[in-house]
Amino acid sequence: MRVSILDLQSMKDRGEKIAMVTAYDYTSARIVDDAGMPIILVGDSLGMVMLGYDTTVPVTMDEMIHHTKAVVRGAQKAHVVADLPFMSYQADHAEAMRNAGRLLKEGGAQSVKLEGGVTLADTVHRMVRAGIPVMGHIGLTPQSVNQLGGFKVQGRTSKAAVRLLEDARALEEAGAYAIVLETIPLQLSQMITERVKIPTIGIGSGMHCDGQVQVFQDLLGLTTGYLPRHAAKYADLGAVISDAVKRYVGDVKGGTFPTEKHSFLLKPEVVAALTAEAVEHK
C-alpha cells in the first residue's frame, strides 16, 4: 500500500516529522523508496538538476510526465507528488484541470503541487473537488524567479509575513492536503505550521515545519558548483563517482580492463572445431 494523504495528515496529528525528497528517475526513486521515504516529489527543479536549465521556467508538461512515470515505476510504497510546471495552471481553470489530470492519468502521480496562495486558491478548490489531491507551495516560488528578482528569502517584512499567513490559510481552506514553505524565516514558518491543521513541508524554513524536503542530488553530494545554504549534504558521492570513473578510464587505457573474468568463453570443443575449419580454408 502506498502512503496516502490521510497517512501524511496522521503523521502531523501525532507529531511525527515527515521526510520528503525529490527524485527524477527510476533508479533514485527505487533507492529512496527502499529506504522508507514516505513521500517523493518529482519537482520541476529537474529542469535545473537533470536538464541543465538556469531556472525551472522552461520545464514542460511532457518533461514532467516523462520523469513522473519513471519515478512511479521505481517507487512502490511512497506517495508520489508531481509539480505542475510554469504556465500549466495559471492561464485558466480548464487548462489547470487538464494538466493536473495528466500528471495523475499519464504520469501515475498520486497528487500534484503548484505554486501560489490566495491567487491560486480557487484553482486548488476546483482540483480538489474533482478528486485531485493538491499540495501548495508558498514563500520562495521558483517559477516566479523573474518577478521576485532571484532566489531570495521571503516574508521578512510585516506586510510580506502577513501575506504568507493569508496564503497558507487560503490553501488550507481550498482543500490543499499540505503546503511547502520555501525559504521563509523560521519564526514565520513556525507560526504558519501552528495555525494550519494540514502538514507543512519546509525547505530553508527552519525546524518547526511538520516535515522537510531536500533535493536527492544535494543530499548525496552530486551537485556541482553552488550549494544552497539550506541544502543538507549527507554524503560526497560526487567525489566517489569521479574517482571510480578516473580509475575505469585508466584501466581501459592500461589494458587491465576487461580481464578474462569479465568475458564470455567458448567451450573447448567449439574452439577446436573453429580452429580446424580455419585450417581447412587456408
Active site residues: 182
Q: Which helix (H) or strand (E) holds 19?
A: strand 18-22
Cα–Cα distance between 118 and 193 in angstroms, integer? 17
Pairing type for strands 134-139 and 39-42 reads: unpaired
The burial of 145, by beta-carbon neighbours within 10 Å (0-12 exposed, 13-18 middle, 19 or more buried), is given as middle
Q: What's the chain's Rg over C-alpha atoms?
A: 24
Q: Which helix (H) or strand (E) holds 42?
A: strand 39-42
CB-based contacts of 57, cutoff 8 Å, min separation 6: 47, 86, 143, 145, 146
Answer for the pair 112, 81: CB distance below 8 angstroms, yes or no.
Answer: yes
Answer for the pair 45, 56: CB distance below 8 angstroms, yes or no.
Answer: yes
> How far is residue 128 CA from its own chain's centroid?
22
What type of residue sits at position 85?
A: P
Nearest partner of 160 among 242, 37, 152, judged by Cα: 152
* β-bridge mates for residue 76, sequence order: none
Evaluate the CA torsion angle 236, 237, 239, 240 in order and state its sign: positive
